[in-house]
């Protein structure tokens, strides 16, 4: 208890951390959710008495997993018996790979298809279908009640989407591949058919912590609750989230209710909340609280709570002048409000708007750095071996990066083991050897080719004799080349430079440009939101438009610490988002 007080935790956080059983914790924006999770993990690690016991933390993103793990390690704790990662990684490591022999579809071996290859396969399949025309973009899906359910809100496309998915699944089966949603499907099938799996895991896991419980899919709850139920209370739960930020429902997100979780898990669960906001000014907190869907107390406790926030809303600017208005707000933020560029975020509802805007702002504001879509040459192909290695070769061996890079070296060794390659190096020895690889090359693709060749030579690996590494290599470079070609067609020639490649794993240093979904969990002094229009926020086919609009505006507004600039531009043939239009608020003017 004294240690937690000394660490600066408040009474609400300490009560949740010290509860001896399972906890369902609702946390308002800026309430120190990550800090609470970190110290709960730390307290559970201290209680471990057996080398067979683990603490498991499931996060929504790999970035969140990295942040929490680094915070736990900074407390000086041994994290060998902490497993932390996304639900897909959890299912793959603890259920699908160990028990694949019991699933006929997997028992002869399988590989994970990466997203670029999956998209290419789907585009090829979609090209052979009739009207309405669909592409891989339309074919997102998730499993509900054992069936693949299209994510597309265009119901008239569903027949073709299901036909495409049927061919896609057959093609994957023929090639002995599965994608990320199939990882969840087979994990659920295995744990449903063989209850002993859940019972075994319940003897290993001391506690399972779930971050962002409101964005977790229903199938994910069925998987982890099978472990809780099989353990008869042996494995505790610690869930943290905010139902007011449940903006992933149209993507399969399932903001589970407290009673439903208790029913599925068969646990005795205490319900707590975190209500103190340590992020935003009182004015910002008052503003975003108006958009709550679920009643929840939020109280401003930030150091900047008395900051005289600027909250503006422009619904008269024409779309042709939007770029000029955003430039004006950025200059106002930098020059008048004295906000640093890494504390400015521009948020829009759709990626296509953002890629074009990023390129144009880069040319308009050459004195600023930007972190936005279309600026880096490859995506996060998390199961690709060469992506794992690229995290090391494209990051600087600086002291503040050591813990993170050491963990990446461990991931490389683990991936080599999965490919049947034994390496005598420890992760620290491997990292030291990799730091000694020196490549003098300004072209990013050539740099990676030469670095990877040096890595293969270091370990004496003939890539032509390892189909897994070879397939990952070809896929990695083919995907990157396609992205570079698309960027160059759009006028972004700088994307090929090695410095742009290194941007992928470098801490954010410029103005962030992201979607509402992409910025969730982040915080900035100044937030600029645009295209806040009915039909975009929310989407015009959203089944719960009023509720969704409130949650989206809630998320945008609660990212801001000091100032908030909202724009519903004219000229897109869509009226302003209804919940913004109807909110009677005395907005701040911006100096010309």
CATH code, 207: 3.40.50.300
Helix axis angle, 62-74 relative to 402-418, nearest 10°? 120
At 403, is the secondary structure helix, strand, or coil?
Answer: helix
According to the model, what pLDDT value does residue 2 have? Answer: 61
The verdict on 217 and 80 lying in the same domain is yes
Confidence of residue 472 (pLDDT cuts 50, 70, 90): confident
According to the model, what pLDDT value does residue 262 have? Answer: 96
Q: Which of 275, 302, 303 is nearest to 289 (CA)?
A: 275
According to the model, what pLDDT value does residue 366 have? Answer: 86
Residue 60 pLDDT more than 90?
Answer: no
Q: Which of 251, 242, 191 is nearest to 29 (CA)?
A: 242
Question: Partners of 217 in the beta sheet?
Answer: 253
According to the model, what pLDDT value does residue 164 have? Answer: 95
Q: What is the average per-residue pLDDT within 385-389?
A: 91
The verdict on 270 and 301 lying in the same domain is no
What is the phi/psi pair of residue 358, to 5°? -60, -50
The domain total for the chain is 4
Query: H-type helices in 399-526, by residue range?
Result: 402-418, 427-435, 444-459, 467-489, 498-502, 516-519
Q: What is the average per-residue pLDDT within 409-420?
A: 89
Q: Which of 296, 241, 322, 206 is nearest to 33 (CA)?
A: 241
439 or 498, which is more confident = 439
Q: Which of 60, 67, 113 is nearest to 89 (CA)?
A: 60
According to the model, what pLDDT value does residue 242 have? Answer: 94
According to the model, what pLDDT value does residue 500 have? Answer: 77
The verdict on 202 and 85 lying in the same domain is yes
According to the model, what pLDDT value does residue 456 have? Answer: 95
Q: Within 10 A of 102 (CB to CB), how many other CB atoms are there?
A: 14
Residue 157 pLDDT more than 70?
Answer: yes
Domain assignment present for residue 216? The answer is: yes
Domain assignment present for residue 564? The answer is: yes
The verdict on 150 and 204 lying in the same domain is no
Q: What is the pLDDT of residues 210-262, one digit of tens each?
A: 999 998 889 999 999 999 999 999 999 999 999 999 888 776 778 889 999 99
According to the model, what pLDDT value does residue 374 have? Answer: 66
The verdict on 238 and 339 lying in the same domain is no
Residue 492 pLDDT more than 70?
Answer: no
* Burial of 329 (C-beta count, 10 Å sphere; 0-12/13-18/19+): buried
Q: How far is CA 138 from CA 22, 122, 133, 152, in A?
A: 39, 10, 10, 6
Domain end call among 504, 519, 546: 504
Residue 1 pLDDT more than 60?
Answer: no
The verdict on 457 and 522 lying in the same domain is no
Q: What is the pLDDT of residues 576-587, one digit of tens each?
A: 999 999 999 999
The verdict on 61 and 206 lying in the same domain is yes
According to the model, what pLDDT value does residue 413 have? Answer: 93
Domain assignment present for residue 359? The answer is: yes
The verdict on 137 and 249 lying in the same domain is no
Q: What is the average per-residue pLDDT within 410-425?
A: 89
Q: What is the average per-residue pLDDT within 416-424?
A: 88
Domain assignment present for residue 379? The answer is: no
Confidence of residue 381 (pLDDT cuts 50, 70, 90): low
According to the model, what pLDDT value does residue 289 have? Answer: 96
According to the model, what pLDDT value does residue 592 have? Answer: 61
CA distance 170 to 122: 12
According to the model, what pLDDT value does residue 373 have? Answer: 75
Average pLDDT in the chain: 90
Structure tokens at 484: 């570079």
Residue 73: half-sphere exposure toward Cβ, Cα within 13 Å: 19
Q: What is the pLDDT of residues 267-318, one digit of tens each?
A: 999 999 999 999 999 999 999 999 999 988 999 999 999 999 999 999 999 9
Q: What is the average per-residue pLDDT within 457-472?
A: 90
Q: What is the average per-residue pLDDT within 180-189?
A: 96
Q: In this prediction, what percent of the chain has a pLDDT beyond 90?
A: 64
The verdict on 295 and 352 lying in the same domain is yes
The verdict on 80 and 226 lying in the same domain is yes
Domain end call among 504, 528, 557: 504
Structural domain range at position 567? 282-369+509-581
The distance of Cα 392 from the centroid of its chain, to the nearest Å, equals: 20
pLDDT winner (highest mean) among 152-166, 271-285, 374-388, 408-422: 271-285
Q: What is the average per-residue pLDDT within 452-469?
A: 92
According to the model, what pLDDT value does residue 494 have? Answer: 61
Domain assignment present for residue 318? The answer is: yes
311 or 487, which is more confident = 311
Domain end call among 504, 525, 552: 504
Domain assignment present for residue 103? The answer is: no
According to the model, what pLDDT value does residue 190 have? Answer: 98
Q: What is the pLDDT of residues 76-133, one digit of tens each?
A: 898 999 999 999 999 999 999 999 999 999 999 998 888 878 988 999 999 988 888 9
Domain assignment present for residue 430? The answer is: yes
The verdict on 354 and 226 lying in the same domain is no
According to the model, what pLDDT value does residue 150 have? Answer: 92
Q: Which helix (H) or strand (E) holds 194?
A: none
Confidence of residue 509 (pLDDT cuts 50, 70, 90): confident
The verdict on 391 and 458 lying in the same domain is yes
Domain assignment present for residue 180? The answer is: no
Lowest-confidence pick of 15-29, 102-116, 186-200: 102-116
């Amino acid at each position: 208890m004294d240690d937690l007080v000394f660490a600066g935790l408040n009474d609400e956080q300490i009560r949740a951390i010290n509860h001896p059983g399972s906890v369902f914790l609702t946390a308002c924006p800026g309430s120190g959710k990550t800090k609470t999770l970190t110290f709960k993990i730390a307290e559970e690690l201290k209680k471990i008495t057996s080398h067979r016991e683990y603490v498991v933390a499931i996060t929504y993103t790999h970035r969140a997993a990295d942040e929490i793990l680094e915070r736990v390690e900074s407390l000086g704790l041994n994290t060998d018996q902490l497993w932390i990662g996304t639900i897909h990684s959890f299912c793959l490591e603890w259920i699908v790979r160990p028990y694949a022999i019991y699933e006929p579809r997997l028992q002869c071996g399988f590989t994970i298809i990466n997203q670029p290859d999956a998209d290419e396969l789907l585009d090829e399949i979609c090209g052979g279908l009739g009207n309405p025309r669909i592409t891989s973009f339309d074919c997102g899906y998730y499993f509900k009640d054992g069936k693949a359910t299209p994510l597309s809100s265009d119901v008239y496309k569903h027949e073709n989407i299901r036909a495409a998915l049927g061919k896609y699944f057959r093609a994957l089966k023929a090639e002995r591949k599965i994608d990320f949603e199939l990882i969840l499907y087979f994990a659920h099938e295995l744990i449903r058919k063989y209850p002993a799996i859940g019972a075994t895991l319940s003897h290993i896991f001391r506690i399972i912590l779930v971050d962002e419980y409101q964005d977790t899919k229903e199938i994910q709850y069925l998987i982890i609750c099978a472990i809780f139920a099989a353990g008869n209370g042996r494995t505790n739960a610690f869930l943290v989230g905010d139902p007011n930020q449940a903006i992933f429902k149209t993507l399969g997100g399932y903001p589970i209710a407290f009673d439903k979780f208790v029913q599925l898990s068969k646990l005795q669960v205490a319900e707590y909340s975190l209500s103190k906001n340590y992020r935003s000014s009182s004015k910002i907190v008052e503003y975003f609280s108006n958009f709550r869907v679920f009643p929840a107390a939020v109280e401003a406790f930030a150091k900047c709570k008395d900051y005289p926030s600027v909250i503006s809303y422009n619904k008269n600017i024409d779309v042709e002048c939007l770029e000029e208005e955003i430039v004006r707000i950025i200059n106002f933020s930098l020059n008048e409000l004295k906000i640093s560029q890494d504390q400015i975020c521009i948020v829009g509802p759709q990626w296509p708007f953002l890629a074009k805007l990023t390129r144009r702002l880069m040319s308009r504001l050459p004195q600023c750095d930007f972190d936005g879509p279309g600026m880096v040459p490859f995506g996060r192909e998390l199961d690709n071996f060469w992506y794992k290695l690229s995290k090391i070769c494209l990051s600087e061996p600086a002291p503040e990066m050591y813990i993170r890079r050491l963990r990446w070296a461990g991931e490389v060794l683990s991936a080599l083991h999965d490919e049947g390659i034994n390496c005598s190096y420890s992760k620290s020895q491997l990292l030291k050897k990799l730091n000694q690889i020196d490549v003098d090359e300004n072209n990013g693709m050539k740099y990676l080719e030469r670095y990877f060749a040096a890595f293969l030579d270091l370990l004496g690996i003939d890539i032509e004799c390892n189909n897994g590494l070879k397939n990952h290599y070809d896929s990695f470079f083919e995907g990157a080349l396609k992205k570079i070609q698309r960027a160059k067609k759009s006028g972004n020639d700088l994307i090929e430079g090695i410095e742009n490649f290194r941007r992928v794993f470098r801490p954010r240093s410029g103005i962030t440009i992201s979607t509402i979904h992409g910025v969730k969990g982040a915080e900035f002094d100044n937030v600029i939101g645009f295209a806040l229009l009915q039909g975009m926020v929310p989407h015009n086919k959203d089944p719960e438009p009023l509720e969704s609009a409130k949650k989206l505006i809630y998320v945008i507004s609660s990212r801001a610490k000091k100032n908030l600039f909202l724009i519903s531009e004219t000229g897109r043939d869509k009226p302003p988002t209804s919940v913004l239009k109807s909110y009677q608020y005395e907005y701040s003017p911006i100096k010309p």
